[in-house]
């Protein structure tokens, strides 16, 4: 059976987005998104782990027995997180200090373990790698979007200190969106993260609703169980149960 990679991409980026679709990984999401720069760094680190975990689990899916699959998946993810943690400490030390404890805590990100169990353990390596990449990019987009909103409203900047935290190559991202802005401290604090996340979730729900045609009028007859447990059908036009 041919794999639908377009569906995998849409699933990871939008329909089943780690944050906006599944509401997972909210702890690092709210903790590190005081700026878009931190969100981008955390997202890239998580994406690297997701891709590696998807590939490793898929390659070893026929070797790992079902009885020990969860501990084995956690061990694989922990190894990948250790590699990413050491790499950030070596080459992006300022970003490593900024993200702090949340890099090792990628091990506990239920989205990574969930994709390993639900997808990578059942499909071939190429599809599992694509799924990990799309899920990681979707997670990164959510982190950057939330971090960008909070940073703009909180301090009037966007991707502040990107050249320092991510390297000189990211310096072009730094922007002053609102000059001479005194800042709104609440948006940088955790309560501001909850408020911004709520608005972003509402915008996604609105976009999903507008992208789908109204199915109420043309819906097929619904199956309805009455109080007596009798299965009937109800048409949306009449509301009657023949």
CA atoms within 13 A on the CB side of 9: 3
For tokens 């200090």, what's the residue?
A: 97
- Give 170-210 pLDDT, tens digit per residue: 999 999 999 999 889 999 998 999 999 999 999 999 999 99
Alpha helices in the chain (DSSP H): 5-10, 26-32, 36-59, 69-91, 93-99, 110-115, 125-155, 162-165, 185-188, 190-211
Pair 170, 36: CB distance under 8 Å: no
CA distance 174 to 177: 9
Pair 33, 143: CB distance under 8 Å: yes
pLDDT band at 213 (very low <50, low <70, confident <90, very high): low
CA distance 83 to 164: 22
- Give 52-88 pLDDT, tens digit per residue: 999 999 999 999 999 999 999 999 999 999 999 999 9
Q: Which two tokens stand for residue 47?
A: 């994406």
CA distance 20 to 17: 5
């Amino acid at each position: 059976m041919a794999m639908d990679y377009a569906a995998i991409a849409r699933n990871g980026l939008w329909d089943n987005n780690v944050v906006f679709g599944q509401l997972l990984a909210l702890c690092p999401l709210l903790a590190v998104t005081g700026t878009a720069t931190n969100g981008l760094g955390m997202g890239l680190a998580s994406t690297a782990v997701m891709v590696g975990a998807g590939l490793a689990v898929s390659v070893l899916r026929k070797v790992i027995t079902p009885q020990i699959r969860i501990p084995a998946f956690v061990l694989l993810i922990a190894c990948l997180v250790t590699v990413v943690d050491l790499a950030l400490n070596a080459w992006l030390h300022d970003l490593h200090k900024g993200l702090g404890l949340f890099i090792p805590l990628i091990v506990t990100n239920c989205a990574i373990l969930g994709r390993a169990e639900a997808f990578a353990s059942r499909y071939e390596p190429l599809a599992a790698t694509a799924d990990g990449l799309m899920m990681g990019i979707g997670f990164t987009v959510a982190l950057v979007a939330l971090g960008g909103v909070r940073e703009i409203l909180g301090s009037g900047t966007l991707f502040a200190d990107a050249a320092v935290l991510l390297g000189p190559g990211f310096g072009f991202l730094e922007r002053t969106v609102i000059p001479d802005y005194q800042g709104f401290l609440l948006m940088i604090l955790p309560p501001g993260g909850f408020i911004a996340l709520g608005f972003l979730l509402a915008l996604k729900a609105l976009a999903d609703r507008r992208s789908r045609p109204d199915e109420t009028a043309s819906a097929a007859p619904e199956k309805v169980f009455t109080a007596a447990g009798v299965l009937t059908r109800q048409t949306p036009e009449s509301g009657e149960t023949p």
